[in-house]
Structures are given as structure tokens and as C-alpha cells.
Amino acid sequence: MFVETCIIFAAVISFCVLFAAPRNEWFFCGLGGSVSWMAYQFLKSKNVHFAFAVLGATVVLALLAKLFAILRRQPATIYLLPGIFPLVPGAGIYYTSYFLIMGDWERFSQMGVETFETAAAIALGIILVSALPDRKKS
Amino acid sequence: METIATKDVLTLSVALGESMLACGAEIYRVEETVQRILQTYELEDSHVYVISNGIFASSNVGGDGCSLIRSVPLGTIHLGKIAAMNQLARDLAARNCSVSEGWERLRQCQELPPPHKRMAVLCRGIGCSAFCLLFGGSMTDALCAGVIGMVLGLHMNWQERLSMARFAKCLFNSMLVTLLSFLPLWMGLAVSQDRVVISGIIPLFPGIAFTTSVRELFNSDYLSGVIHFVDALLTALCIAAGVGIVISLC
């Protein structure tokens, strides 16, 4: 668990570099990504359906992003995009299109639905948090 | 208060919105930013419409009217620019920054450098090996994925100079990764090729574009959502096709 969290931290920070995030925010991006991954693992260990686990993890990440955005006066996207990378169904999209090309219809539809569920869960998580009232206009 | 022509304000705010959009800012955020600046300058009869690859805006105040259309090709994400331009937009909306100052600062934002080349290569390697470990790969797998990721990074740096269709680039990138993933097998290393391939190409995958598109659909930005969705789908198909071609050949 600890090792995995460290790996996520490193992965998220390396994506911060690829996305050219401001250097001072790298640590916070990594923190958000690791904490949301921990939430995901925790939910999964409680036998929650994977879509709900993703939803929970996204809500945690989006809340953290919002908190960092207020504390550090930056747009929340900066923390959201790199932090979401471990949750995003990249492998799912790959398998879906791979099975499509290989003509494996059964696994294609199964993987496709799963991928779409994950993406929808992430989107819903972000939207739920963005529905919370914003900070007061200064 | 100095009088400012509608055209000046509209051009600046749309130019700012255009840059934000090109760096991967969210649709509603761009729309809100442009609208807020226009409101600050009391351009009441203004309309802004933003989609993933274009901005349309018009403003008409007492006969002083102007309308703009901008085509914005889908670009690469640059969070540093988004942060800087966000600050600029806030200052403009709070009138802490005049229009001419705004142009100067927008130019500075646009000139922020892309990520350092060598650093990006290294980070791509780290990211790939981290993903390989998460997918349950062994240390050897992760090492191979990291090296492949770095080679891919170098190849992409070189590819930037070519004027090749984006989808052709995707195809070649994924073919390169799949081809490289056969090398450790031929050298007799015990790797699970499947995992190495996925972790090698994962940074290319439009996971974020896909998620963004679903978000936009929920946000009722249907057109933007569909554009990003189709873009993500085509990219994914090209990458998978590259993998499929090489695997069936080798």
C-alpha cells in the first residue's frame, strides 16, 4: 500500500512535468493523486463496485483540488488533470479499441461498457464537487 | 475613466480565451472568463459561444459593434499557461490591469516555455514504469516499460519537426512501442509483453480527453463533448491499430 502510494506520487509528478504544471504546485498535485488513489484502494478493499470506487476517489480528488485551488489561488484544473491520470480508463480504452480491431465482440462490449462507466463515474464525481458553492467573490 | 472601444476589449478577451482553450482549459471556464471581462467593461449586449475548437463572440454597444470568430485547433495541455492566464483574467475582470497591459501580459503567458525536452523524456519513462508496476508488472517489466517510454519520448521530440497528420503520428508511435516491446522477449528476458505494451503507450492514450468529453456532455456542452469524444475514439483506434499491425506481423 505504502509502496503503491509512492509510485502514484512519482507518476503524478511526472505527468505534471509533461503537462508543464507550475513547479511550485507539483507537490500538491502528487498529494491529491496519492490520496485519491488511497481512497480508491480503500473502497475497492471494501468490495465496493468499481464504478463507485472510482466515483468516491474522484470526489476526494476534486475536493482536494478545490481546497488547493483556494489555498494557493490557482485554477483547480492544475491539480485535477495530473491527479486524475491514475484513475482515467486509459487501459480500458486501449483494450476496447484493441478488441474492436481484433473482432473480439464479446470482450469488446464488456470492456467498452466498463470503460464508459469509469469515465462517467469520474465525470459525475467532478460535477458533484463543482456543484458545491464557490468561494465568495472577492 | 478612459473610453475604450468595444473592439479592443472584445479582441483581447477572445484572444485570451483562445489561448486558454488551446492549452486545454475547460469550455465553460473559457466562456465564463470571456464573459466576465466583457461584463467588467460594461459591454451589455455581448454573446460568447465556445466549443472545443472554436470561439464565436459578438458585442454591440450603442452602434459600436464587433464580432469575432476564432478557429482553435485541439492543442497540447500546458497547465502553466492556464495558471498564468487565469491570473491575468482575474486581474482584467477586477480592473487591476488595463487593456494595453493585458496584451503585454498575454504575450508573456503565450511565451512560457513547453516542458524541458530531456526532463520530459525522463518523466515519460518514470510514468511508464510506474504504470507498469500498477498493472501488476514485475521490476523487469517496469524497467523495460521505462526504457521504452524514454525512447518513445525521444522519438516524439524528433517527430515534432515533421508536418505529419496527428493520427499518422499516433499510429507510428504505437507501432514503435509494440516493436520495442518484442526486444526484451527476443533477448530472452522474462517479461509480460502485454503489460509492457500498455504501460508504454499509456501516456499517449486519450484518457483525459475521454473523461473531459463525458464531463462536457453532462455539462450540456453537447457539441464540445462530441468533438472530444470522436477525437478520443479516433486516437484510440489509431493506437490500437498500430499495436494490432505489429503484433500480427511479428
Among A77, A82, A89, select the one facing B25 at the smallest CB separation.
A77
Q: Which domain holds residue B133?
A: 117-249
Judge whether B42 and B132 are in contact, CB under 8 Å.
no
Q: Are both B175 and B243 inside the same structural domain?
A: yes
pLDDT tens sequence across A13-54: 988 888 888 888 899 999 999 999 999 999 989 988 989 999
* Cβ distance of A74 and B83 shorter than 8 Å: yes
Q: Are both B131 and B237 inside the same structural domain?
A: yes
When scoring A9, A15, A107, A136 by the number of chain B Cβ atoms within 10 A, the one with the most, hence best to mutate, is: A15
Judge whether A21 and A88 are in contact, CB under 8 Å.
no
Q: Are both B144 and B100 inside the same structural domain?
A: no
Task: Tell me which chain A residue has its CA closest to the CA of residue B119.
Answer: A17
**Angle at CA of residue A121, ends A119 and A123, nearest 5°:** 70
Among A11, A91, A115, select the one facing B127 at the smallest CB separation.
A11
Q: Are both B124 and B54 inside the same structural domain?
A: no
Cα–Cα distance, B131 to A86 (Å, whole number): 8
Q: Is residue B1 part of a domain?
A: no
Q: Is the ipTM of this complex over 0.85?
A: no
Q: Are both B141 and B95 inside the same structural domain?
A: no
> Grid coordinates standing for A24?
511550485
Cα–Cα distance, B138 to A68 (Å, whole number): 35
CA of B34 to nearest chain A CA: how many angstroms apart? 16
Q: What is the pLDDT of residue B3?
A: 63
- End-to-end alpha carbon distance in chain B: 72
Q: What is the pLDDT of residue A137?
A: 45
Q: What is the pLDDT of residue B19?
A: 93
Q: Are both B195 and B75 inside the same structural domain?
A: no
Cα–Cα distance, B215 to B205 (Å, whole number): 17
Whether residue A79 lies within 8 A of chain B, CB to CB, comes out as: no
Q: What is the pLDDT of residue B1?
A: 47
Task: Tell me which chain A residue has its CA closest to the CA of residue B209.
Answer: A88
Answer with the one of B62, B88, B110 that is the final residue of a domain: B110
Q: Are both B39 and B81 inside the same structural domain?
A: yes
Q: Are both B90 and B155 inside the same structural domain?
A: no
pLDDT band at A56 (very low <50, low <70, confident <90, very high): very high
Q: What is the pLDDT of residue B2?
A: 54
Mean pLDDT over all residues of chain A? 88
Cα–Cα distance, B208 to B214 (Å, whole number): 10
Q: Are both B86 and B134 inside the same structural domain?
A: no
* Cβ distance of B208 and A84 shorter than 8 Å: yes
Max Cα distance, chain A (Å): 56
> Grid coordinates standing for B177?
512501442
Q: Are both B24 and B137 inside the same structural domain?
A: no
Q: Are both B69 and B101 inside the same structural domain?
A: yes
Eight-class DSSP state of A135? P
Whether residue A128 lies within 8 A of chain B, CB to CB, comes out as: no
- State how many domains chain B has: 2
pLDDT band at A135 (very low <50, low <70, confident <90, very high): low
Alpha-carbon dihedral sign for residues A137, B46, B97, B71? positive
Q: What is the pLDDT of residue A39?
A: 93
> Grid coordinates standing for B243?
499495436
Chains A, B: CB pairs < 8 Å: 148
Q: Residue ranges per domain, chain A?
A: 2-130
CB atoms within 10 A of CB B1: 4
Q: Are both B63 and B140 inside the same structural domain?
A: no
Whether residue A100 lies within 8 A of chain B, CB to CB, comes out as: yes
Mean pLDDT (10-residue bins), chain B, 250 residues: 74 92 89 90 88 91 85 88 91 87 91 86 89 84 89 88 85 90 81 83 83 87 91 89 86
Cα–Cα distance, B89 to B100 (Å, whole number): 14
Q: What is the pLDDT of residue A138?
A: 41
